[in-house]
Structure 1
């Protein structure tokens, strides 16, 4: 699929992005794809291309652009190597809900400016920490998000003032959450809390469990990747965005 590297100006600097479109002239509805804690890398360019093949323009941002020229992470070892874990947790912790919101505003403005993109509302999807970001952005920028998806996302209903479930009454998007079974970052209790919050707010939503490990959808996370679960997640994205993103 056609892919360009570009930059988006945000209040905090210049964020590198990749922008992938289907073959042809378009325009197409657009999806903002948030990577997992490992950040943008080849596997997410491949994933953007696969989603583009379903008929979407896809933007993948460098979520760590404020850290400058950062070294890539290997998620198979990053959490077991003390130095890498500290570096990763520090960089993750620097991405606050306020920064997610200001960044997403710039990303949506960029998408709206592209001739390849149709409409003024968008989809969001994300993995791990990106799944949490996807829902926070849907709550903080409700007028711009038509469908928000999260896969093996953590902290979706946490004891944290920035938890996405506290934004339920602001969300206008349809929400899909694909949780990993036996995932300490998104437990059945957390799923129940999220479900109750979304239901009380009248948000159309689906929460499903995948019999796989946290990280099941991302192929280079070999310790957790599950081919069957990954395919199920692709089918879910194709169906959910197909039903909820304007064409």
Structure 2
């Protein structure tokens, strides 16, 4: 894992780059962090995606001021589907696609806030998208028209996204977008994220329908990798 700089229209941003083992070139994947930023969990996810055979880049959307100063603006860009955060992610895609060790095919995976970005970026030149419990965009049919194939994962007990998986599944079916959207029973938000928590915080996460679930997470990752392997050239067996 190495730190790299992504050039963007509004100045460079930091990013984590993970290179797979084996012989290049590899397909690329942009990982979009959740509202907490690029912490240990997102770095572990970056390594996991790379281990499966993808050149993986995780840009830090909070580079220009840290989470406290940037989170509101980043969510605003998500809601508007445009702005600095969107431009940063498109620049990250372009950096991967242009590298000689990338095949030129690039997917996007995101979590919570990042899952929302994975959805709104699906029509913006990516080859596959994997939102984990991503908030749905406003005017969803307009937002997802012309989207790339999407593999989405949601929790039935997610108090913030009731019915989001069903809505996304129905919308993509009407739009004719190839997709695999699963709503998992018995789990809530962040079921694929190992969020650091103490005893009290852990209880709060469970009460609010949040928290990691290993079995569900592993099944979701199985689906994501199978889906990406069929839409991005050359994914390895993981």
Secondary structure, in 3 states, of the residue corresponding to 2:188? coil
- Note closer, same or farther for the CA distance 1:5–1:50 as it changes in structure 2 (3 Å cut): same
2:110–2:130 contact (8 Å) kept in structure 1: yes
Residue 118 of structure 1 corresponds to which residue in structure 2?
103
TM-score, structure 2 normalization? 0.83
176-185 vs 52-61, greater mean Cα deviation: 176-185
Worse-superposed segment, 128-137 or 96-105: 96-105
Pairing 1:179-190 to 2, within 5 Å after superposition: 179-188=154-163, 190=164
Deviation at 1:54, TM superposition (A): 0.9
In structure 2, relative to structure 1, the CA distance for the partners of 1:32 and 1:90 (3 Å cut) is same
1:233 Cα deviation from its structure 2 partner: 2.1
Partner of 2:206: none
SS of alignment partner, residue 14 of structure 2: strand
Contact 2:77 2:86 in 1 (8 A): no
Matched with 1:134 is 118
Give the match for residue 208 of structure 2.
none
Note if contact 1:166-1:197 (Cα within 8 Å) is conserved in structure 2: no
Q: TM-score, normalised by structure 1?
A: 0.80
Query: What is the aligned partner in structure 2 of residue 150 from structure 1?
Result: 131
Equivalent pairs, count = 218
Q: 1:90 to 1:59 in 2, by over 3 A?
A: same
Distance 1:23 1:197, change over 3 A: same
* Partner deviation per Cα, 1:25-76 (whole Å, 9 max, x = no partner): 311001111111111112211111111111111110102223x2x26xxxxx
- Change over 3 Å in CA distance of 1:46–1:235 after alignment to 2: same
Point out the more displaced range, 14-23 or 217-226. Answer: 217-226
Aligned residue number for residue 233 of structure 2 = 246
What SS is found at the alignment partner of 1:98? coil
RMSD in angstroms over aligned alpha carbons? Answer: 2.1
Please say if 1:237 is aligned against 2:224. yes
- Determine the C-alpha separation between the residues in 2 that align with 1:146 and 1:31: 10
Following TM superposition, by how much is the alpha carbon of 1:170 offset from its aligned partner in structure 2, in angstroms?
2.1
Distance in 1, matches of 2:115 and 2:141, equals 13
- Aligned partner of 2:207 in structure 1 is none
Instruction: Tell me how far apart the structure 2 counterparts of residues 238 and 61 of structure 1 sit (CA, whole Å).
Output: 21
